[in-house]
Amino acid sequence: MCRPTLVLASLAALAGCAVAPTTIETAWTDPSFSGMPFSRIGVVALFDTEAESRAFERQAAEHFEGRGVRVVEGRQFLEPSRDYTYEEMEAALLDAEIDALLIFRLIAVDERRVFRRASPYLGTLPPGVIVGHPYFWYYYPHWNYYWHWRMTRDVVRSAGYWEQYTYVVVETSLYDNETDELVWTARSETMDDTAFERLADSVVAAVSERLFDESLLEPSEPALARSPPPNRTEDP
């Protein structure tokens, strides 16, 4: 959560109040893989609840289809309450007619605390500082002696404090449906404010960039443009 302080930090520090971009912490690609890029994939999400899993699959499908990759959501070929044998799942994947299976799974939700030290004496004005900000008058003395003293005092006496962040750790794995072998896997971290849809968008976007950069995915059709909102104006 974000904690208000006497002296505001730069705009970058305020970004902690929202979902931060996902970072890929580790990634591995099978060096022996020599197959063609995949253009029709199945997406399966395994999260705490069925609702979260289905919502994640839907967000992922919208993203990949927007880039021209055909997607079959997991709920369309795997029943959530059914325990499949290997043979049954293999048959379900063949029936789905997909090239590869992309599995997102929740690894951990980490609570981390970061100590923010008292305001440093910087050599240059921090970005995002505007007139009226204590930092501004620290580097550009105020014409009035009281505010010169007051603003300087606010900066040099600002106390350190703790901030707590929630990081969602997700593992993503891509399997070749023809060989059943793992082709690519990665572990990502996202600083989250419990907005699940934005979390899904952030994770999927980061994973998508890596898969396209490594030529593991390719569009099977032109990227889908979002339809404009319907014209609700009634005809005269």
Q: What is the CATH number of the domain that holds 33?
A: 3.40.50
CA distance 69 to 126: 43
Tell me which of 208 and 13 has the higher pLDDT. Answer: 208
Whether this model's pTM surpasses 0.75: no
Number of domains in the chain: 2
Same domain, 36 and 106: yes
pLDDT band at 60 (very low <50, low <70, confident <90, very high): very high
Same domain, 104 and 175: yes
* Percent of the chain residues past pLDDT 90, beyond the cut: 50
Same domain, 206 and 107: yes
Q: For residue 217, what is the DSSP state? A: B
Asked if the structure places residue 51 within a domain, the reply is yes
- Pair 210, 28: CB distance under 8 Å: no
Asked if the structure places residue 227 within a domain, the reply is no
pLDDT band at 171 (very low <50, low <70, confident <90, very high): very high
Mean pLDDT of 98-110: 93
Taken as a whole, the chain contains a residue count of: 236
Mean pLDDT of 218-226: 64
For the chain, the C-alpha Rg in angstroms (whole number) is: 24
pLDDT at residue 106 in the model: 93
- Pair 177, 100: CB distance under 8 Å: yes
> Among the residues of 96-144, which ranges form H helices?
134-139
- Pair 60, 200: CB distance under 8 Å: yes
pLDDT beyond 80 at 226: no
Domain range enclosing 143:
119-157
pLDDT at residue 134 in the model: 57
pLDDT at residue 229 in the model: 37
Same domain, 129 and 97: no
Same domain, 147 and 75: no
Asked if the structure places residue 6 within a domain, the reply is no
Same domain, 23 and 133: no
CA distance 199 to 204: 9
